[in-house]
Amino acid sequence: MKISKGIVITLVVIFVIVVLVIVAALLLAFLLPRASSSSDVYYNGNFRILNVPYNANLATRNSAAFSTLANIIETHIENVYSSSNLSTQFNNLQVVEFRSGSVRVVLLQQFKADGSTSVTARTVAETFRQSLVQVNVSSQTGSLDRFSVDLTSIQFTEISQAQAEALSSNDAAAAPTTVIATLTTRNTVSKPTCGSRPGISSRIVGGTNSMDGEWPWQVSLQIGSHVCGASIISDRWLVSAAHCFWNTQSLWKAYMGSVDVGKGTIRNIKRIIRHPNYARKTQNDFDIAVLELSSPLTFSNVIQPVCLPSSSQVFPAGRSCTITGWGALVYQGSLSGILQKADVNIIEDSTCRRIYSPFITNRMLCAGLLRGGVDSCQGDSGGPLVCVESDGTWFLAGIVSFGFECAKPNFPGVYSRVTVLRDWVKQQTGV
């Protein structure tokens, strides 16, 4: 069979076009992925903290000790990458393990592969190293906020998604199809639960600075400047002390989401409801109020509600809890510009009554250190006394109410006992 010259030319043209298409496809496959791929890359990082002693509680992920330390470290390191050249590619991170030998931190980090800055294990490690302050070359140490880090221990290694999923689930045999749920969002929580710290008082005497996200329920109530503290209990409601609101008609504003007083998210106060028995019986009795916000909050790593305890929940004497606030550093002193925190102990009811008789009722509790030196003070009023349970959940045990001066020996702070006033809060707010 003869084939015309025109058909031959057509076949040749088609062949050439097919070859060109194949070559173009191969070029796209081999040359473009590194520049345009939007897949995520994962890094296993670890470093050693020298000034935190290791204990057995850090071996269990669901322990309060693990949760507390992990949240603080995660917040610090997230701030490192969020403020670096890798900020547009940084997605999230998770502390997956603490190992003995001081405390060795094992991290799982997730970055987007696309972006103007090349993400490699080296750039991730160098960004971390450069964030450390007070670097001592002779001792090979540097500081990550309060943590002293061994510079020689810093290691970052790129790993596969399957390896990342295994680390996240703490199971070496984890299936590659497992979803890394804890690493899919950044700075938002789709279904917030109370008492968690995703992300890390009239002024606290004897306390230390807090960091953003460490106490995400803390609120500053202001009329032009800071007056009292409060706690977030839902997206619409706050709880504080009744004695703060001598004038419920004032233009109160609530600030939350930042440790810097007067910064962060702002809401107007729509309504203030003081307990109807406040100031009608014993002085400072029923010292509680709930505040409705002008519009609902959007929860995030730095804005979260604290859990309200049940009426039957017990916070026993001797238990260590935490107070926070922007109040005075010393009695009748100036307020703090940065949120302060301090650990105090729940005091025996009999001791509390003996010290403050006849002013103590069963709607009050005492907390502090009988040796003095640590206490809530002016400006901390209405702020939280929180206690953490073994599962890492924080509960509002008390509301800063009153005391004799601040941090004096044998005169602990007095707090409204939330368990006894819990039913009234629910009646008013539905929370």
Report the catalytic residues: 243, 287, 381
Cα maximum dimension of the chain: 119
Contact 156, 162 (CB under 8 A): no
Phi, psi of 304 (to 5 degrees): -145, 150
- Give the DSSP per-residue string, 102-137: TEEEEEEEEEES-SSS---HHHHHHHHHHH-EEEET
| DSSP SS3 for 64 | helix
Token pair of 319, please?
Answer: 């238990």
- Structure-derived torsion over alpha carbons of residues 390, 394, 400, 403, reported in degrees to the nearest 10: 10
Number of C-alpha atoms within 13 angstroms, CB side, residue 369? 16
Contact 323, 336 (CB under 8 A): no
CA dist 219 and 270 (Å) reads 15
CA dist 111 and 183 (Å) reads 10
Neighbours of 204 (CB within 10 A): 33
Contact 402, 382 (CB under 8 A): no
CA dist 377 and 403 (Å) reads 8
CA dist 313 and 221 (Å) reads 28
Q: Which of 323, 286, 328 is nearest to 416 (CA)?
A: 286
Cis previous bond, 358, omega within 30 = yes
Contact 303, 265 (CB under 8 A): yes
Helix axes 121-131, 64-82, angle to 10 degrees: 100
CA dist 46 and 407 (Å) reads 40
Q: Which of 186, 167, 164, 174 is nearest to 97 (CA)?
A: 167
